Amino acid sequence: MLAKVYVTPKKAILDPQGKAIVHSLHSLHYDEVADVRMGKYLELRLTGLSRGQAQQRVEEMCSRLLANLVIEDFRFEIVED
């Protein structure tokens, strides 16, 4: 199985990287871009687990290590290889 994990800053948290990207896009005349949130994307290859176990384990991994829950949100999806 493959877990696709997306970690992004919470909406209330300032995102200086995202603001810099918006500014750069505007300078390249992509004025339609209103906001950018810069985050992380991770792929975790999992073996020896049922789908339910995989979801539980990835939830734990995100909560304990992959995301800083004070300033970041996460979501993930489990897909078959």
**Residue written as token pair 């603001």:** 19
CATH superfamily label, 2-79:
Phosphoribosylformylglycinamidine synthase subunit PurS (3.30.1280.10)
**Residue written as token pair 């990287």:** 17
Both structure tokens of 59: 């939830």
Integer-rounded Cα Rg, in Å, for the chain is 16
What is the full per-residue pLDDT of the chain (81 aa) written as tens digits? 999 999 999 999 999 999 999 999 999 999 999 999 999 999 999 999 999 999 999 999 999 999 999 999 999 999 998
Looking at residue 81, its pLDDT comes to 80
Both structure tokens of 81: 């290889």
CA dihedral (8, 12, 17, 22) in degrees, to 10, reads 110
Pairing between β-strand 2-9 and β-strand 72-79 as defined by DSSP bridges: antiparallel
